[in-house]
A and B are shown apart, each in its own frame.
Chain A
Amino acid sequence: MATATAPAPARSYAFRDSMTMLRRNLTRMRRYPSMTVQIVTLPVLLLLLFVYVFGGAIGEGIGAGDRGDYVNFLVPGIIVMAVTYGTIPIAVSVCSDMTEGIINRFRTMAISRSSVLTGHVLGNMVQIVCILALVTGVAYAIGFRPNATAVEWAAAMGLLLLLAFGLSWLSAAMGLRAKTVESASNAPMPLTYLPFLGNTIVTPESMPTGLRWFAEYQPFTPINETLRGLLLGTGIGNSAWISLAWCVGLALVGYLWARSAFRKGAER
């Protein structure tokens, strides 16, 4: 039994340590729910604003139909936007770990190094799932009526989780690079503005040429297109593949950036 008591290498603890860190982050979210509430409020407010204030006019303008039809056009984009808002908390929590000194405690312990960030990303994913459930619930209440099958729902969920995963890593990297918690909470903001410059609120056809070109080629447009297709049965075309490529690309860039920022952080 000597082998059982010998200290195992840190690698074999990667899963256990990540789960420990995930538990820690979930407890933190429960203790500080105002962050999650704040984050869920923003997309819900936007949804209500665009449906009830602008909805009648925009629906007519882009040829989507009346207010009721516009809800169906808008909601998938708002759900995607909710994912972008949902990644703000991870930048904040990662940055506060870095600036408050607890990271140095973790770094001087024989734990799996990656578990610190993995725990944050997994915690953020749980948070985003809660946010998405709430936003979708509100959308339902105001008349969102998808016609998706179980498989389509699962595919939509998969796409959103993949997007959340990529943006989470990206936002974690921003949190690692930020010097203060305040700047960390602002760093992911551009990600939340990007959907506006796409097909979230209106169709890009109504935009001036330069902006239209940007709107058509930026990542959130094919993602919105795919989600609409899955939930409402509109045409997807090759958007699904483009979305997947974007999501995988974002995840890769985010992960590598976060990993290198985490290593550099040790020398700070």
Chain B
Amino acid sequence: MSAMHAIHAEGLRKSYGEKLVLDGIGLRIPEASVFALLGPNGAGKTTAVQILSTLIGADGGEARVAGYDVVRQADDVRRSIGVTGQFAAVDGLLTAEENLLLMADLHHLPRREGKRRAADLLERFDLTPDAKKTVSSFSGGMRRKLDLAMTLVGEPRVIFLDEPTTGLDPRSRRMLWELIRGLVEDRGITIFLTTQYLDEADQLADRIAVLNGGRIVAEGTSEELKRRIPGSHIRLRFGGEDQLDAAARVFDVAQRDPENLALNIPGDGTPGTVRAVLDLLDAARLEAESLTVHTPDLDDVFLALTEKPQQPVPAL
């Protein structure tokens, strides 16, 4: 079973004091695939990575990574994985090359092999011209590239990328996405990615799981997830709460969004549907400030799944 899965977890639980961070999550991630764990801040994404990468222990449940148990065979897991965290874990006082050679030494590689891998990675990541510069002079994007290169020195089979592009500018994000895609294509590495960016998950991942309040609330391909929420909807915005309440009584299938004084009415954006909505508003002597037609994207999935952690997705 575990031979087929690069990562296999069952019932992982973790709390910090009173706060329950992971409430029994299970994962089955096939080899040579990209898996994205998507969730808002504080959903428990980083905690999941910390447990799977042997940084911390779980309070309950079991996990195997690359076929090894994360607790009983922690060193075997460590030999098989690479981790690039949210904050670039590079040594700012060393040069890019020295950082890579440090990794080679810590992987106990022979000197020559270490130098060869460092040179290869510098080349591959376009860092060769900056190899001899100290990292403290690097931009955020370059640091993150070096961080990823350092993770690859040990030729890991499974890579954990914990919010790899958080805080990067759009150009650097795209560049990292290209590098990450390349890794799966040429090396057959399994990637476990956490992100709060839906486009990132959409761009990179074969499968996506949405984590919210310590539980996986949905899992599937990006297409499957989009299908889980209703098709397009018409969004009406009102000038006041009383108007919104009155309109909500008219459209009883609609979802209220009181924060934005808006109402989401399921339905497509054909002129007929829009006219029907407007007619009903007129009949009730209500006036909307704006009307927009929405077609679903991953953002809708994300919002629908993460805003109300206790409730299932409304079946409209």
Contact = CB atoms under 8 A, between A and B. Distances in A.
Interface string B157-187: 0000000000000000000000000000000
Given A28-B91, A28-B94, A105 B83 contact: yes
A115 to B, nearest CB: 9
A105 B108 contact: no
Interface string A83-119: 0000000000000000011111111111100000000
Contacts of A101: 85-89
B149 to A, nearest CB: 12
Given A23-B105, A104-B89, A109-B106, 13 more contacts: A16-B105, A24-B94, A24-B102, A27-B98, A28-B93, A31-B94, A101-B88, A101-B89, A104-B83, A105-B83, A108-B81, A108-B83, A111-B106
Given A20-B105, A108-B54, A108-B55, A9 B85 contact: no
A110 B78 contact: yes
Contacts of A100: 87, 89, 92
Nearest to B91: A102
Nearest to B154: A109
A105 B79 contact: no
B75 A24 contact: no
B75 A104 contact: no
A32 B93 CA distance: 8
Interface of B: 53-56, 75-76, 78-79, 81-83, 85-94, 98, 102, 105-108, 134, 150, 154
Interface residues of A, number: 27
A110 B79 contact: yes
A142 B89 CA distance: 46
Most chain A CB neighbours (cut-off 10 Å) among B91, B94, B98: B91
A103 B98 CA distance: 17
Given A9-B75, A17-B106, A102 B94 contact: no
Given A108-B81, A109-B107, A31 B87 contact: no
Contacts of B82: 108
A109 B152 CA distance: 12
Contacts of B90: 102
B84 to A, nearest CB: 8
Contacts of A7: 76, 79
The 9 closest A-B pairs by CB, nearest first: A110-B78, A105-B89, A101-B89, A101-B87, A20-B105, A31-B93, A108-B83, A28-B93, A110-B79
Interface of A: 7, 9-10, 13, 16-17, 20, 23-24, 27-28, 31-32, 100-111, 266-267
Contacts of B102: 20, 24
A101 B92 CA distance: 11
A267 B76 CA distance: 21
Contacts of A10: 75
Contacts of A27: 93-94, 98
B87 A105 contact: no
Nearest to A93: B93
B5 to A, nearest CB: 20
B192 to A, nearest CB: 13
A49 to B, nearest CB: 32
B106 A20 contact: yes
Contact of A106 (B79, B88, B106, B134): B106
24 contacts: A10-B75, A13-B108, A20-B102, A24-B91, A27-B93, A27-B94, A28-B91, A28-B93, A31-B93, A31-B94, A100-B92, A102-B90, A104-B55, A104-B83, A104-B85, A104-B89, A105-B85, A108-B54, A108-B82, A108-B83, A109-B107, A109-B154, A110-B75, A111-B106
Most chain B CB neighbours (cut-off 10 Å) among A16, A105, A111: A105
A267 B85 CA distance: 16
Contacts of A23: 105
A24 B88 CA distance: 18
Contacts of B53: 108
Contacts of B105: 16, 20, 23
A109 B154 CA distance: 9
Given A7-B79, A20-B105, A105 B56 contact: no
Contacts of B98: 27
Nearest to B86: A101
Nearest to B83: A108
A11 to B, nearest CB: 10
Contacts of B93: 27-28, 31-32
A9 B108 CA distance: 12
Contacts of A20: 102, 105-106
A108 B49 CA distance: 11
A109 B107 CA distance: 8
Most chain A CB neighbours (cut-off 10 Å) among B82, B89, B106, B150: B106
A242 B83 CA distance: 48
A17 B103 CA distance: 11
A159 B83 CA distance: 43
Nearest to B57: A267
Given A105-B83, A108-B81, A31 B89 contact: no
Given A7-B79, A28-B94, A102 B89 contact: yes
A188 B202 CA distance: 50
